[in-house]
Structure 1
Amino acid sequence: MRALVVYESMFGNTREVAEAIAAGLRGQVEAEVHDVETAPQSLAGWDLVVAGGPTHAFSLSRPSTRADAVSQGADEGSVRVGLREWLHDLRPGSDGQAFACFDTRVSAVRHLPGSGARKAARMAEGAGFRLIGRESFWVSGTPGPLVDGDLERARLWGTSLGHAVAATDQGPESDGRIPLP
């Protein structure tokens, strides 16, 4: 079984989460991590796609919000293509291919609606993917760092995703989503 983990990261926090998720997956499946700019467009041969990015303005980033992040200290070359653009034309490599998504969000605004993961989930389901999980991970401020415990939480979520995909081609029973342990 193979899992592809794709991330967009402006300050490095989402990259750390993606790597932790992949570490959790590797106990059950082969996992590769790619920055969105180098991620494959063909998903044939992947049993699970996990995609994540930062929440910008209650959704996935756009060119204007990425420019705002650069003005707040993000590396100018960190992201030319965002997760929104990568997902826009993406199609499953197989019928009902498993998909999970995550985002990083500022913990001070947990109560506000909207998230990058929610938007990614809608885009993926609309394209024909089978959503098996969606999760948010928290940063203490725009540049980070991640709140204490969230890298371990990401690793555990990756482990849960890996167990579900390795257990069956159809993923978990019930509503198809993977609960976070």
Structure 2
Amino acid sequence: MKALVVYDSAYGNLLVVGSPINGWRPTPKITALLSDLGNGSLRGVKAAAFDTRVRMFIHGDAARKIAHALKAGGADLIAAPMPFYVRGSEGPLRDGEIGKAESWAQKLLASVAS
């Protein structure tokens, strides 16, 4: 899938950044986006990070790297970085991952609402 979704709401109360793992890290475009954040530019913004990955013995952790960059930018991380598993290098999501994503999203929304 080739998609970049960036949505700026009128409320601006939640930032979620995700990426497939690409060479043990986020994709180059997400890495570039994160490097442009600057220290403190996300101060006061609630944020969360996720990645999609293939279930392997050894794999990268793009979600953790994204979360680290968001925190360095001043964001308040409201959830642990979340991996979602895919079948093969291009998906689709493995069984159970859509439900896992729905549950994670509900927790994010509840955190923002409180």
What range is the shorter-chain TM-score in?
0.7 to 0.9
Instruction: Name the SS for the 1:136 alignment partner.
Output: strand
1:113 Cα deviation after fit: 5.3
Q: Is the 8 A contact 1:59 1:118 kept in 2?
A: no
Q: How many residues align?
A: 110
Give TM-score, length-normalised by structure 1: 0.55
Runs of 4+ in 1 over 2 A off after TM superposition: 42-45, 111-114
| Correspondence 1:46 to 2:4 | no
Aligned CA distance change for structure 1 residues 43 and 84 (closer, same or farther; 3 Å): farther
For residues 160 and 43 of structure 1, the distance between their equivalents in structure 2, rounded to whole angstroms, comes to 19
Q: Deviations over 1:75-121 (max 9, x none)?
A: xxxxxxx21112221221xx3311100000001x1x42531101101
What's 1:101 paired with?
A: 49
Identity %, equivalent residues: 34
What's 2:94 paired with?
A: 147
Q: Identify unmatched segments of 5+ residues in structure 2.
A: none
* Residues 84-123 of structure 1 aligned to structure 2 (within 5 Å): 84-90=31-37, 91-92=41-42, 95-107=43-55, 109=56, 111-112=57-58, 114-123=60-69
Larger radius of gyration: 1
Corresponding letter in the other structure for 2:88: G
| Correspondence 1:61 to 2:27 | yes
For residues 156 and 119 of structure 1, the distance between their equivalents in structure 2, rounded to whole angstroms, comes to 22
Q: Identify unmatched segments of 5+ residues in structure 1.
A: 1-10, 16-34, 63-81, 168-181
